[in-house]
């Protein structure tokens, strides 16, 4: 069982009406705070909206929201236009019942499905129902009721209800205990439960009570009093929910299949008249909450702030009705680390959510507004990734605008990065525009991740950063070429490329430059061999340079190459060289070496300097079995040497 955490929240004045809030703080990173931050009203965007209940985002600029009295609206933020949606089902407005939550199908962009939960009248009273329709313009078309909870009760209490989809597109729906606590422990009804459906309202075969006698197959878990806040943790895909306790004992739970959360057999609260509901806060087989509130804050609505938090951390915003504030809860490994309250006494916060672009919005009852929020959190607009080539010692993370004047920064690297030699930085002074990143000399190619936090002395925010160390492109060089004086080209063979080099450069050293060798810069890399221009006036000797190859990201560290020029009298092709002749050269089906007097040494090598054949005092040699390619035949006679190029097609 989990260890529970007691949070004491003082009672706050309750207000009534409606408010819908928008935060300027775009949480496009994960959050890591030295002190938990606060949210404030920046400016009012919209007034005079009646009793709201739930909302969802079509995109960062368009919101769908429900009014408990039975209306759905489409609000466009940029133009401040609010349009009523038609085709909404008839609802029963009785006490806490009415039009409740709203959610989009995960594939809304292609199927346009909008889901609603709502109180519906039936013989004997009311119950909570689930339905969906297709949003076409300003109309919900073909709206269909998918599910109706049992039993039907003539009561205005505890309808729930929230809707959440998980990453597998299962739909979760909460239903309250309808004011009868014993319902929550009775698995033969739907009250006081979290239910799970396929997106069409059918029951998944994997639901835990499918096939179990005297139970409802829709049940995913039970023992819940009245859940009015439910959300998926985007980092893990798990579903979390909070529920109203009686007088005290509001809870936050991780929703798990086939699990009993205990209401009313266990509770941290008491009845409204002061009597004990249960003297037990835990019993065998009943799940303890992750955290709870005494006195009650009356939680309603919740959202996880994104992106994914590091090290099993989560930042959760929860609306508080009786508490009249936004509750910012920080969790790690499903344990409460800290919490703070924002906008105390401002309104009854009915729902709070984060838009796709990171902005934070809230719905409240009284005053009836749609309000832009600001935060104490310092922010930077940065490029959260950088790329560096292997072997380089540093790179930088570039940032542009800031808010709330950050002055310090820290970097905490993950385990992989620390193992590679990356060093954490604590409270460094924030430089202008670029944050330096030192790259360990031994860092292998790969992606190294960490958290970069900026701080203004009051609060801090952390951003996920990724440093990509790219492997340098390489080639395996063959032997450095030897040419005869007067030759105009030398071929430098290579093979076995890595990291896809596409271009090359050569920078010649002083003696080669003086001899007339010309540098090559960013030249397309040919297949198998690089042609080097040899100055015709180059004297006998070896000339050195540095060859680098590159791709779109990186350049190799460089290889030393040389071209050796031998000062030997020019001998025309087919002319006797010490009575040694190659017939014919360069093109023939057969390559035959004839030696009338017997040269002392012959060596045939390939492009990579590998010896193919060698011999001494050979009268004749047939090379017709050679594979196609370029070969070098070196002939030595009386301490003179000549290398001939042989091309076999």
- Where helices occur in 106-169 by DSSP H, the ranges are 108-111
Note the pLDDT of residue 463. Answer: 81
Does residue 1 sit within a domain?
Answer: no
Neighbours of 620 (CB within 10 A): 9
Cα–Cα dist 365/52, whole Å: 7
Q: Please give the average per-residue pLDDT across 151-169, as a whole number.
A: 97
Task: Let me know: does 42 contact 374? Beta carbons within 8 Å.
Answer: yes
| 545, 599: one domain | no
Does residue 401 sit within a domain?
Answer: yes
Does residue 275 sit within a domain?
Answer: yes
Checking phi first, is residue 433 left (phi over 0); if not, alpha (psi -120 to 50) or beta?
left
3-class SS at 591?
coil
Neighbours of 454 (CB within 10 A): 25
Q: What percent of the chain has pLDDT over 70?
A: 83
Question: Number of folded domains in the chain?
Answer: 4
| 222, 238: one domain | yes
Give me the chain's average pLDDT, please: 85
Per-residue pLDDT tens for 110-135?
999 999 999 999 999 999 999 999 99
Cα–Cα dist 339/35, whole Å: 9
| 204, 325: one domain | yes
Q: Please give the average per-residue pLDDT across 420-436, as a whole number.
A: 91
pTM of the entire structure? 0.66
Note the pLDDT of residue 400. Answer: 84
Task: Let me know: does 11 contact 325? Beta carbons within 8 Å.
Answer: no
Give, in degrees to the nearest 5, the angle at Cα 118 between 114 and 120: 130
Cα–Cα dist 294/458, whole Å: 28
| 490, 429: one domain | no
| 308, 338: one domain | yes
Q: Please give the average per-residue pLDDT across 261-275, as a whole number.
A: 96
| 250, 108: one domain | yes
Note the pLDDT of residue 361. Answer: 92
| 181, 200: one domain | yes
| 423, 285: one domain | no
Does residue 572 sit within a domain?
Answer: no
Task: Let me know: does 315 contact 329? Beta carbons within 8 Å.
Answer: yes
What are the residues facing 116 on neighbouring strands? 102, 131
Instruction: Provide the domain limits for residue 188.
Output: 6-377
DSSP assignment letter at 577: B
| 286, 424: one domain | no
Does residue 639 sit within a domain?
Answer: yes
Per-residue pLDDT tens for 601-615?
777 777 667 777 777
Q: What percent of the chain has pLDDT over 90?
A: 58
| 64, 184: one domain | yes
User: Shortest CA distance to 412 belongs to which of 308, 338, 305, 310?
Assistant: 310
- In this structure, what CATH number is given to the domain that contains residue 135? 2.120.10.30
Note the pLDDT of residue 65. Answer: 96
- In this structure, what CATH number is given to the domain that contains residue 536? 2.60.40.10
Q: Which of 379-388, 397-406, 548-557 has the highest mean pLDDT?
A: 548-557
Per-residue pLDDT tens for 277-312?
999 999 999 999 999 999 999 999 999 987 545 567
DSSP structure string for 76-135? ETTTTEEEEEB-PPP----TT-SEEEEEE-TTHHHH-EEEEEEEEEETTEEEEEEEEEEE
Burial of 586 (0-12, 13-18, 19+ CB in 10 A): middle
| 426, 441: one domain | yes
């Amino acid at each position: 069982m989990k260890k529970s955490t007691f949070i004491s929240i003082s009672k706050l004045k309750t207000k009534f009406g409606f408010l819908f809030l928008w935060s300027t703080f775009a949480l496009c990173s994960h959050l890591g705070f030295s002190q938990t931050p606060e949210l404030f009203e920046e400016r009012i965007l919209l007034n005079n909206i009646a009793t709201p209940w739930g909302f969802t985002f079509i995109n960062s600029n368009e919101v769908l929201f429900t009014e408990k009295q039975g209306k759905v609206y489409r609000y466009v933020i940029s133009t401040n236009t609010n349009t009523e949606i038609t085709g909404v089902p008839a609802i029963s407005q009785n006490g806490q019942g009415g039009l409740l939550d709203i959610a989009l199908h995960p594939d809304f962009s292609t199927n346009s499905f909008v889901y609603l939960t709502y109180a519906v009248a039936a013989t004997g009273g009311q119950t909570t129902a689930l339905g969906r329709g297709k949003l076409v313009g300003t109309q919900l078309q073909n709206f269909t009721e998918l599910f109706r909870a049992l039993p039907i009760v003539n009561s205005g209490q505890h309808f729930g209800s929230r809707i959440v989809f998980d990453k597998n597109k299962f739909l979760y729906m909460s239903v309250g205990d309808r004011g009868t606590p014993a319902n929550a422990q009775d698995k033969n009804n739907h009250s006081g439960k979290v239910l799970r459906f396929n997106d069409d309202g059918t029951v998944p075969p994997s639901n835990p009570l499918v096939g179990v006698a005297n139970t409802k197959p829709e049940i995913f878990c039970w023992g819940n009093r009245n859940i009015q806040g439910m959300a998926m943790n985007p980092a893990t895909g798990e579903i979390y929910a909070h529920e109203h306790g009686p007088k005290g004992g509001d809870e936050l739970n991780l929703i798990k299949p086939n699990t009993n959360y205990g209401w009313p057999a266990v509770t941290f609260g008491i009845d409204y008249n002061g009597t004990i509901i249960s003297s037990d806060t835990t019993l065998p087989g009943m799940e303890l909450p992750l955290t709870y509130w005494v006195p009650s804050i009356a939680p309603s609505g919740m959202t996880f702030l994104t992106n994914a938090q590091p090290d099993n951390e989560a930042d959760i915003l929860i609306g508080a009705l009786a508490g009249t504030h936004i509750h910012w809860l920080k969790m790690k490994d499903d344990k409460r680390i800290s919490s703070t309250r924002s906008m105390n006494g401002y309104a009854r916060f009915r729902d709070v959510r984060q838009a796709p672009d990171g902005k934070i919005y809230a719905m409240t009852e009284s005053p009836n507004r749609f309000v832009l929020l600001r935060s104490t959190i310092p922010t930077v607009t940065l490029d959260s990734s950088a790329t560096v080539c292997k072997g380089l010692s540093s790179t930088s993370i570039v940032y542009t605008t800031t808010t709330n004047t950050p002055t310090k920064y820290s970097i905490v690297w993950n385990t992989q990065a620390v193992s590679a030699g990356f060093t954490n930085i604590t409270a460094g002074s924030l430089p202008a525009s670029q944050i330096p990143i030192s790259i360990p000399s031994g860092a292998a190619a790969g992606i190294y991740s960490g958290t970069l936090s900026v701080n203004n002395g009051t609060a801090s925010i952390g951003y996920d950063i990724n440093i990509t160390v790219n492997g340098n492109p390489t080639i395996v060089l063959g032997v450095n070429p030897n040419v005869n004086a007067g030759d105009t080209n030398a071929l430098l063979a290579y093979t076995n490329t890595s990291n896809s080099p596409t271009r090359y450069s050569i920078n010649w050293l002083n003696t080669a430059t003086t001899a007339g060798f010309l540098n090559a810069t960013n030249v397309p890399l040919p297949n198998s061999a690089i042609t080097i221009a040899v100055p015709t006036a180059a004297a006998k000797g070896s000339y050195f340079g540095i060859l680098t190859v590159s791709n779109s990201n990186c350049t190799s560290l460089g290889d030393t190459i040389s071209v050796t020029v031998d000062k030997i009298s020019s001998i025309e092709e087919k002319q006797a060289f010490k009575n040694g002749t190659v017939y014919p050269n360069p093109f023939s089906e057969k390559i035959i070496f004839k030696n009338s007097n017997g040269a002392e040494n012959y060596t045939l090598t390939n492009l990579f300097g590998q010896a193919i054949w060698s011999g001494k005092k050979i009268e004749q040699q047939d090379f017709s079995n050679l594979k196609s390619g370029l070969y070098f035949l070196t002939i030595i006679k009386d301490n003179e040497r000549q290398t001939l190029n042989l091309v076999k097609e």
